[in-house]
A and B are shown apart, each in its own frame.
Chain A
Amino acid sequence: NAGVTQTPKFQVLKTGQSMTLQCAQDMNHNSMYWYRQDPGMGLRLIYYSASEGTTDKGEVPNGYNVSRLNKREFSLRLESAAPSQTSVYFCASKRGGFNQPQHFGDGTRLSIL
């Protein structure tokens, strides 16, 4: 059972470069999420997709864009990376229903120099 798969696992970028973080889930979940995790802070929601074809901003969307490519895949793009975007990025997916848990990938560790 793969669950939620994120690629790449590690990445180093220079300020101003762009890149796309990939996320895929094989659990047929409708909802998908992108979070960032920084030291001393709880996970913060960047963008989410409640269903295929829809995306909405979360708590910290500035500097990011997303694409819900199909039901399985949800990508996060940094158009012009900044040092403040150095973080660990987690993708999650969830079945419908308020009491269902989110299933997380193992993260992408991104450093921007």
Chain B
Amino acid sequence: KNQVEQSPQSLIILEGKNCTLQCNYTVSPFSNLRWYKQDTGRGPVSLTIMTFSENTKSNGRYTATLDADTKQSSLHITASQLSDSASYICVVSMNSGGYQKVTFGTGTKLQVIP
């Protein structure tokens, strides 16, 4: 069964600190992995995408890594800000008969406190 598991479920950190969120998946055949940020009461917004050949990609203070061999990804947030408080969702895509099938993780809820 295609699954995407994220850890931790929730996390509280002090403003200015770094944190790393984890994503493990069993989706196959792998197409790409995307991290979304979902603010409370809003829809998810794409942060970054990783394809099979990419190991690391940065978007400002967000850095995503991908190990396609172990089927793991991480999202590292540097120098956290209050505005980083949100849920972060890992989404893995696979190709299925010419159609892209997407599996969503349950998310990690991050709270950044002053």
List chain A positions with a Cβ less than 8 A from chain B.
Answer: 4, 40-45, 50, 90, 92, 98-99, 101-102, 104-107
Complexed CA–CA distance, A42 and B91 (Å): 9
The count of A-to-B residue pairs whose CB atoms sit within 8 angstroms is: 43
Q: Given the known A-B contacts A42-B4, A42-B104, A42-B105, are A101 and B43 also in contact in the complex, defined by CB atoms under 8 Å?
A: no
Chain B residue nearest to A38 in the complex (CB): B106
| Main secondary structure on B side of the interface with A | strand
For residue A57, give the distance in angstroms from its CB to the closest CB of chain B: 12
Contact residues in B for A106 (Cβ distance below 8 Å) = 41-43
For residue A67, give the distance in angstroms from its CB to the closest CB of chain B: 20
List chain B positions with a Cβ less than 8 A from chain A.
Answer: 4, 31-32, 34, 41-46, 49, 51, 89, 93, 95, 99-100, 102-107
For residue A11, give the distance in angstroms from its CB to the closest CB of chain B: 15
> B104 touches which one: A43, A98, A101 (CB < 8 A)?
A43
Contact residues in A for B51 (Cβ distance below 8 Å) = 99
Contact between A101 and B42 (Cβ–Cβ < 8 Å)? Answer: no
Report 28 cross-chain contacts, Cβ distance below 8 Å, ordered by A residue: A40-B106, A42-B4, A42-B89, A42-B103, A42-B104, A42-B105, A42-B106, A43-B44, A43-B89, A44-B104, A90-B43, A90-B44, A98-B31, A98-B100, A99-B32, A99-B49, A99-B51, A101-B34, A101-B46, A101-B49, A102-B46, A104-B43, A104-B45, A106-B41, A106-B43, A107-B41, A107-B42, A107-B43
